[in-house]
């Protein structure tokens, strides 16, 4: 009996293998120019524990609230950790959940998941504080989401190289570039704010560089630009602070800051950064002049560092950053935590504090690589997804078309999926493939 079952299993496997191989051959024969490779699976979804999934298996909101409480206690010196835990206390400062984007395409699935996570964690924190409020005495603070547009991202086809130096033009400096996809982002943010019942604010890079702490932080960067340049840019060794050429109609900014000149004045209080335009020569930004500082731009690692510094210096508001899991790990350790520790040790600022950052699950293709919007928009990648009706994952505009109606249905399915992750937080510590999303979101949609 037992040996019969074994031979059946072996025969069944062999048949499967033959059928699947023949199916693949058939697909190759029918579509010889662009063969599609089949990935067969058993439809079983596993959420294995380990690392973050194990540690936060039951809850992510509670540990985050405790961390915020500890920040307040450390600053106000009011309580020990034990006192905090027994007080049934709530944070008193407003809580801002912070996420950002480059508006260079209609949002793709990775960006939509980050946004859904940001609004979900805001909702989760707000709801948990309401429960604690009902059982205690404290009135919870407000919870809002802040979406920051990186309108200084380079515009496609507006980049150039002169004598080995790269220059770019930013979305905010090219007419119509910014407005092309703004409506899609605004629509997504409006829906998510409504479903989470969490207010949202929107900001741009000029708002970011107008932060009241920015002159102090930028003066620190001027004094330490050589060290920071090496730390933040392994490729070029220079600090990628930029400013677009102010000559009307030009707007070129040197991408990597390799020609920048830094001058620290007045004991490091009123520094000046001089930038270089290949057509119009040098132009300067004085940190003592807010209108000029607001024109500054920074690449992702420099922006990331400055953002966390402003968050740590703000003792009136709690900030929680939500970003994609592709930034977790060595990227943050090298480009964020090491420079933050050095800054705190040198200046005495934000002593003992670290930023609060949550990493949204990565959306990956069949090979495990992240679904890349830049490959999609720049190189026309993922043609196979179009052939399978999955191009909605590369562009919210396409997802909206796919579902018709008021456009919210596809987004709503992604939102509902992220709610399932929030209810079972181990799912927040893994990646999800486009094939998985295809199964749960597009399966029932008529073509
Ligand atoms: Zn110029």
Structure confidence by residue, pLDDT tens digits, 394-424: 899 999 998 877 889 999 999 999 999 999 9
296-298 and 281-286 strand pairing: unpaired
Beta bridge partners of 254: 167
Task: Give domain limits for the chain.
Answer: 52-153+175-208+300-364+395-442
Give the residue among 268, 175, 282 at the shortest CA–CA distance from 223. Answer: 268
| Residue 377 alpha carbon to ligand 1 centre in Å | 27
Phi, psi of 410 (to 5 degrees): -65, -45
Neighbours of 294 (CB within 10 A): 16
| Residue 294 alpha carbon to ligand 1 centre in Å | 18
What kind of fold does domain 52-153+175-208+300-364+395-442 have according to CATH?
Rossmann fold (3.40.50)
| Residue 173 alpha carbon to ligand 1 centre in Å | 12
DSSP annotation string for 60-126:
SHHHHHHHHHHHHHHHHT---HHHHHHTT----S-EEEEEEE--SSS--HHHHHHHHHHHHHHHHHH
| Residue 295 alpha carbon to ligand 1 centre in Å | 14
Residues in the chain: 447
Neighbours of 42 (CB within 10 A): 5
| Residue 170 alpha carbon to ligand 1 centre in Å | 13
| Residue 273 alpha carbon to ligand 1 centre in Å | 16
| Residue 253 alpha carbon to ligand 1 centre in Å | 8
- Burial degree of 51 (CB within 10 A; 0-12, 13-18, 19+): exposed
- Burial degree of 443 (CB within 10 A; 0-12, 13-18, 19+): exposed
Residue 416: C-alpha distances to residues 47, 122, 175, 192 (Å): 18, 15, 37, 11
| Residue 280 alpha carbon to ligand 1 centre in Å | 4
| Residue 103 alpha carbon to ligand 1 centre in Å | 24
| Residue 396 alpha carbon to ligand 1 centre in Å | 35
Write out residues in the chain with pLDDT < 50, as ranges: 1-5, 445-447
| Residue 167 alpha carbon to ligand 1 centre in Å | 10
Structure confidence by residue, pLDDT tens digits, 216-273: 999 999 999 999 999 999 999 999 999 999 999 999 999 999 999 999 877 767 899 9
Q: Do residues 74 and 83 make contact, with C-beta atoms less than 8 angstroms apart? A: no
**Distance of alpha carbon 431 from alpha carbon 52, whole angstroms:** 12
**Distance of alpha carbon 208 from alpha carbon 300, whole angstroms:** 13
| Residue 259 alpha carbon to ligand 1 centre in Å | 14
| Residue 245 alpha carbon to ligand 1 centre in Å | 4
> What is the 8-class DSSP label of residue 242?
E
Tokens of 229: 């340049």
| Residue 249 alpha carbon to ligand 1 centre in Å | 8
| Residue 276 alpha carbon to ligand 1 centre in Å | 8
| Residue 277 alpha carbon to ligand 1 centre in Å | 5
| Residue 244 alpha carbon to ligand 1 centre in Å | 8
Beta strands in 232-388 (DSSP E): 241-243, 253-254, 261-263, 272-277, 281-286, 296-298, 318-324, 356-360, 363-364
**Tokens 């909605």, residue?**
392
> What is the 8-class DSSP label of residue 172?
G
As a whole number of Å, the end-to-end CA separation of the chain is: 48
**Distance of alpha carbon 261 from alpha carbon 252, whole angstroms:** 17
Three-state secondary structure of 173-219: HCCCCCHHHHHHHHHHHHHHHHHHCCCEEEECHHHHCCCCCHHHHHH
Tokens of 3: 């040996």
Provide the angle, in degrees to the nearest 10, between the axes of the packed helices 179-196 and 396-403.
Answer: 60
- Burial degree of 243 (CB within 10 A; 0-12, 13-18, 19+): buried
């Amino acid at each position: 009996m037992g040996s019969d079952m074994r031979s059946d299993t072996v025969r069944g496997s062999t048949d499967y293998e033959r059928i699947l191989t023949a199916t693949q051959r058939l697909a190759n024969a029918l579509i010889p120019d662009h063969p599609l490779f089949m990935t067969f699976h058993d439809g079983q979804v596993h959420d294995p524990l380990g690392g973050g999934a194990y540690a936060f298996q039951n809850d992510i909101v509670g540990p985050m609230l405790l961390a915020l409480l500890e920040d307040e206690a450390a600053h106000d010196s009011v309580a020990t950790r034990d006192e905090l835990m027994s007080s049934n206390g709530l944070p008193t400062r407003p809580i801002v959940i912070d996420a950002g984007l480059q508006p260079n395409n209609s949002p793709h699935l990775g960006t939509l998941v980050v946004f859904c996570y940001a609004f979900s964690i805001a909702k989760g924190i707000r709801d948990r504080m309401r429960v604690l409020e009902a059982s205690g005495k404290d009135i919870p603070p407000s919870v809002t989401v802040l979406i920051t547009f990186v309108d200084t991202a380079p515009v496609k086809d507006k980049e150039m190289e002169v004598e080995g130096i790269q220059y770019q033009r930013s979305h905010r400096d090219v007419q119509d570039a910014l407005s092309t996809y703004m409506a899609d982002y605004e629509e997504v943010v409006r829906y998510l704010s409504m479903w989470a019942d969490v207010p949202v604010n929107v900001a741009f890079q000029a708002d970011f560089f107008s932060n009241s702490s920015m002159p102090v932080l930028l003066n620190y960067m001027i004094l330490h630009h050589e060290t920071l340049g090496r730390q933040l840019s392994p490729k070029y060794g220079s600090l990628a602070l930029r400013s677009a050429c102010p000559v009307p109609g030009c707007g070129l900014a040197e991408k990597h800051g390799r020609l920048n000149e830094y001058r620290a004045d007045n004991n490091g209080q009123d520094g000046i950064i001089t930038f270089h335009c290949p057509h119009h020569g040098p132009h300067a930004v004085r940190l003592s002049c807010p209108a000029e500082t607001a024109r500054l731009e920074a690449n992702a690692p420099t922006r990331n560092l400055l953002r966390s510094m402003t968050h740590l210096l703000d003792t009136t508001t709690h900030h929680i950053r939500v970003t994609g899991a592709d930034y977790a790990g060595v990227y943050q350790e090298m480009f964020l935590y090491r420079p933050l520790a050095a800054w705190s040790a040198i200046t005495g600022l934000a002593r003992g504090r670290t930023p609060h950052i949550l990493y949204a699950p990565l959306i990956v293709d069949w090979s495990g690589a992240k679904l890349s919007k830049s490959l999609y928009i720049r190189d026309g990648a993922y043609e196979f997804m179009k052939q399978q009706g999955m191009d909605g994952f590369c562009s919210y505009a396409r997802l909206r078309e796919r579902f018709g109606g008021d456009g919210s249905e596809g987004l709503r399915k992604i939102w509902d999926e992220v709610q399932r992750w929030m209810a079972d937080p181990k799912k927040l510590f893994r990646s999800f493939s486009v094939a998985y999303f295809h199964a749960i979101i597009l399966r029932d949609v008529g073509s």
